[in-house]
Amino acid sequence: MKRLLLLALVLVLCSACTFPAHAERTYYGTMMVDHCKEWVSLRDGPGTGCRRLAKVPLFALVTDAEWTPICGDFIHCSYNGTEGYILSKYLVPWADPEIEDREYASPLGFAFRYNPALLDLETDVSEDGQSLMLSAESEELPVYLELITTEGAGASPSAFLEKNGADGSTVHSGTTENGGTLKWFRKAYEQNPEICSIIYAVEDGAHGLSAIATVPAADSEAWEEVFTLLMQTVHFPVRIPLKAAWGKASGQTFIMDKGGKNITLTATEALSQVTLLSLDFAGVTSEGNPLFDTQTVHELDRLLPGEHLTIRLAFPGDIPSFGIRFTDASGTVRQFSIGLSGYDGSLVLEEF
């Protein structure tokens, strides 16, 4: 009799779970079955004792995936027209391979790629210019990734990782696409059990980057996979051997626009054939980078390390009107547009 009552209770609970309360909701859309041997169970409720509706094969796609508090460790989804629940640890975000990754070049000196099918990013640079906050679209709990320069962290990435303490969590190690080292671990967020943190450290030669992700605890494994893929693409573009800053008129001043402001260009290595350019926007490349037609305005034979060149420029719109071309110490000809940051109005040199 007790066994029959217990079975009846399980069936009632599974049936009740089929209609979750939607007070809170995280929608994922399409997800893929992973981390299993051959298949996973699609059940009629969020519990291992609930009835199996179908066997969903490894790498199969499910649609309309979403999580609500009543789901617990499961995610409600649809497979071949049948709705049910699958354990969240067997589902990972899926990106349409036809949607290409996007390259994001940070004004803080690093770049990375991300897939817009997985992440709809909003970016915000900190006031001190030492960190970049990425906000991923989430319907309920916040999803953030803060990327911090070594200067902002006040320590090397490895020391930053150690300082935050793994608290017994497993520290994973890997490499970036450029051969740099990548380490990370996931730990519970002390102030709120509903969210957790993922701490990252990237070191690539003389460059380094630390990061802290804040994600929903119920889906921390899935978000860890998404952000780890992003961190594996982190790279540090070639250093620009020229610094640009607002300046005062000096003995070596060239006026390119009478209504503009003074800008001081300072060489950090020996440059030759330094040419100031007038730019006309000519379109964009297939990667979304701008193309310019150039016209020489002024030329210098060389600019030695520490030497300054003051020019007066105006910025009539969002598209740069002036630029500079030079041959660097390695003999490579490089050219940059001179524009304004959309974040804080600072000067930006972008190679084209």
SS3 148: strand
CB 31 within 8 A of CB 61: yes
d(CA 95, CA 64): 14
Q: Supply the mean pLDDT for the chain.
A: 82
pLDDT average, residue stretch 118-133 = 79
Band of the pLDDT at 330, cuts 50, 70, 90?
Answer: confident
Band of the pLDDT at 129, cuts 50, 70, 90?
Answer: confident
Band of the pLDDT at 85, cuts 50, 70, 90?
Answer: very high
pLDDT in tens, 142-153: 788 999 998 889
CB 298 within 8 A of CB 114: no
Look at 75 and 168; give whichever has higher pLDDT.
75
Residue 182: pLDDT over 80: yes
CATH 2.30.30.40: which residues of the chain?
Answer: 2-93
Q: How many CA atoms lie within 13 A of 5 on its CB side?
A: 2
User: What is the fold, at CATH topology level, of the domain defined by 102-232?
Assistant: Jelly Rolls (2.60.120)
pLDDT in tens, 259-317: 778 888 888 888 999 999 989 888 877 656 788 999 998 888 998 888 888 888 888 77
Look at 159 and 126; give whichever has higher pLDDT.
159
Look at 321 and 166; give whichever has higher pLDDT.
321
Q: What is the pLDDT of residue 239?
A: 67
Classify domain 2-93 by CATH architecture. Roll (2.30)
CATH 2.60.120: which residues of the chain?
Answer: 102-232
SS3 164: helix
